[in-house]
Structure 1
Amino acid sequence: MGLRRLTREQARRIAVRAQLLDAKRPTDLVQTVEQLTLLQIDPTAAVAPSADLVAWSRLGPSYRPEQLKQAVEQDRTLFEFNALIRPMADVGLYLADPDLHPTLQDWMTANASFQKDILAVLRDRGPVISREIPDTCPVPWKSTGWTNNRNTTRMLELLVATGQVAIAGRTGRERIWDLAENVYPSDLDVPSPAEATRRKDERRLRSLGIARAKGTAVPVEPATVGETGEPVEIEDTPGIWQLDPAATDGFEGRTALLSPFDRLIHNRTRAVELWDFEYTLEMYKPAAQRRWGYFALPILHGADLVGKADLKADHKAGVLRVLALHPDTRFTRPITKAITAELHDLAAWLALPEIEHP
């Protein structure tokens, strides 16, 4: 008996529903992050910070950024790790296997006294920002990149990776550091590396609905799921996909404006294979080389990715500027009406009284 075969429309519906982008919106922030597995932190706020934009696109106008801050810093139901916000219930999975490069391990060993000094400061003074910790590093960190000689921050990040320090919150863009025992649960369960990998693959597949077992590397978070799930084929795509056994493709769609870092489209190869959707975040390109804009938001309509919206939130002027709309398919009257409504919802959420169209 051969593999089950899905249409691309079925695969799209499964992916959209798994990412909580169908008409039945979630109502709880922590439960939303538990399903998505992460919110990516990025300081760019041409429209809104990505973590907030992803949460708004799921929860709608009831979401407020202070809810995320409270969940991380007070309720401790979410935690920050490697520039990602994750459910606190998953923390053990990411401490199971630090897998540090030998160069990093050697540097930590050479600076054992520096590690002790940092932990002593945190023990004595409580949560602090990095510049409040004296740099007593005997062997400075050498790098050709921006981390060169940033000894304290580099060591703090490694102490987080090894489970000794945690990020307790942020003040502006600066991270606040504390002992892990003051942030993570006292009954923390850290599984074996093999068990952690298995559970992370299962969690990732549940959040994506359908994914490749192996494939193109994606920065920050893998987009592949190993051998977990049911192997299936999708029409007009090569190779085998893995399907979440609990996934269903029946849903009522809606229209959504997505962050450029949204998990639905973050794997650009998957976006092309399932939706024929080409997208590049162009804020790092010179203006003359941009096709869609500095921080263009992908537009989801039902189970289809139909275009990009080049937007700019001008809080000083109180205006959401619609610099351009780039259709990937013909914008029918219903699509145009739905996008317009979503733009008004976004402007209201951002407390911008006006929308300026091109």
Structure 2
Amino acid sequence: MSVESISEADARKLVLISQGLHRSNPFGTSLKATLDVIARLSYVQIDTISVVERAHHHCVWNRQNNYHKTHLDTLMQQKQVFEYWSHAAAYLPMSDYRFSLPRKHAIASGEKHWHVKDKKLSKIILQRIEQDGPLQAKDFEREDTAKNTGWWDWKPAKKALEQLFMEGELMVLKRQGFQKFYELTERVVPTGIDTSIPTETEFYDYLIMRFLAAQGLGSAEDIAYLRKGLKAKISRRCEQLLEDKQLLKLACLGQQYYALPQSLHLLKQRMGRKQVRFLSPFDNLLIQRKRLKQLFDFDYQIECYVPEPKRQYGYFSLPILWGSVFVGRMDAKINRASGVLFIRHLQLETKDIAGLLTDLLPSLQTFLRFNQGTKICLEKISVPEQVQSPLENFLRQQIESIQIS
């Protein structure tokens, strides 16, 4: 099979077009556009960290400028998306429901483990939800002389609920205050949704085609990301699809990648106006750090899990994408009470500071509004030494307070 070479610039362009990050509002501006974003990406990771807007909202907003946080709740109510596990907890298109079944069946059978199953407790939980309707974990608390809260210990019940969720007996009907309401699966899955278990080949094709549609190009290792034991099987299936001309192979920067046949046609599209985007650390573009380094020459690590003395950029640094190039990172935190967006550390990694600032400042204001803030406080900025002084003078006129490192 022939291998077509593409440039680094074209590889990046293909990825960004596939990710919907090549121009403003490529999916449109309606509620359906939000569903289209999730369908294109195949999942959006659910984030518990809220120093700025949570990742599931942040990822969609970067691809749909008028996105509103109620959109995901509405799509859940309409049963057009559902919660389950991708490489992490995620919103997925309901149309892909059947492809969640292999993991569910593996956990239910004991082939894969989540929590140790308490059969007696699980039976009681299912009976109560069947009788009372959707319930939260707090509805299963114990009432006794030691604890005036419910009727059994919360932690075992929470584990049992999550086990039943991962097995597929329960689904999340909705969230309220970020707390899950669990419901019987048969009451959540809409009529007409295919609930048949995919064959191995169907499942591998789903993983391959979904990944390449969302990411533009990828290796078998990329496609099998965090799916233990699947890399060799994915690789074999990719080669079969290659022989059947359902895939093609591209070479870039000394690496070979699989891609969909229509990929080269995507490269005929024009990129939109160059703009700055502050990406969530859990954005679909970023989640595979090795791939990010290979294709974008950007070495990134989220540091919220790193001990504070060892952090280089900050607790929750957001990668800064300018056009098709990563040019820095911004550690930010919104104070929701005061409306101040604190930029703890802005690290800019380009010599074209003047050009970057032209696009960066409007994007900062847009990001501020997305986080429902009213003003920005920049505490520290790191830039190449030769532009430090003029940058400080410029920023003092634009931002309320600043301390230059």
Structure-2-length-normalised TM-score: 0.77
C-alpha separation between the residues in 2 aligned to 1:230 and 1:122? 46
Aligned residues: 341
For residue 10 of structure 1, give the secondary structure of its aligned residue in structure 2.
helix
Q: Is 1:209 aligned with 2:216?
A: yes
Match of 1:90 in 2: 96
> Offset at 1:326?
1.4
Higher helix share: 2
Question: Is the CA contact 2:281–2:318 (under 8 Å) kept in the aligned structure 1?
Answer: yes
Q: Which digits, 9 at most, give the CA deviation of each residue in 1:111-156, with x for residues without a partner? A: 4443332221111000001232378xxxxxxxxxxxx994323332
Check if 1:2 corresponds to 2:7.
no
> Is 2:373 aligned against 1:352?
yes
Separation of aligned partners in 2, 1:220 and 1:328: 34
Alignment of 1:270-349 (within 5 A): 270-349=291-370
Contact 2:11 2:252 in 1 (8 A): no
RMSD: 2.7
Residue of structure 1 equivalent to 2:165: 160
1:192 maps onto 2:198 in alignment: yes
Q: CA deviation at 1:159?
A: 2.3
Deviation at 1:216, TM superposition (A): 9.3
8-17 or 166-175: bigger deviation? 166-175
- Report the equivalent of 1:16: 16
1:241 match: secondary structure: strand
In structure 2, what is the equivalent of residue 53 of structure 1? 58
Distance 1:243 1:133, change over 3 A: same
Instruction: After the TM superposition, list the runs of 4 or more consecutive aligned residues in structure 1 that deviate by more than 6 angstroms.
Output: 220-225
Q: Are 2:33 and 1:33 equivalent residues in the alignment?
A: no
Does 1:236 pair with 2:241? no
Is the Cα–Cα contact under 8 Å of residues 2 and 249 in structure 2 kept in the other structure? no
Distance in 1 (CA, whole Å) between partners of 2:230 and 2:327 is 22
* 1:3 and 1:233 in contact (8 A); partners too: yes
Residue matched to 2:262: 246
Unmatched 5+ residue regions in structure 2? 143-152, 379-401
Secondary structure (helix, strand or coil) at the match of 2:64 reads: helix
CA distance in 2, matches of 1:352, 1:315: 7
Please say if residues 209 and 243 of structure 1, whose CA atoms lie closer than 8 Å, have aligned partners that are also in contact.
yes
In structure 1, distance between residues paired with 2:208 and 2:322: 28
Q: 1:177 to 1:105 in 2, by over 3 A?
A: closer
Alpha-carbon deviation of 1:105? Answer: 9.3
Given the alignment, which residue of 130, 133, 140 partners 1:133?
140
1:172 corresponds to which letter in structure 2?
A: G
Q: Is the 8 A contact 1:216 1:269 kept in 2?
A: no
Identity over aligned residues, as a percent? 24
CA distance in 1, matches of 2:213, 2:207: 10
* CA distance in structure 2 between the aligned counterparts of 1:219 and 1:175, rounded to whole angstroms: 25
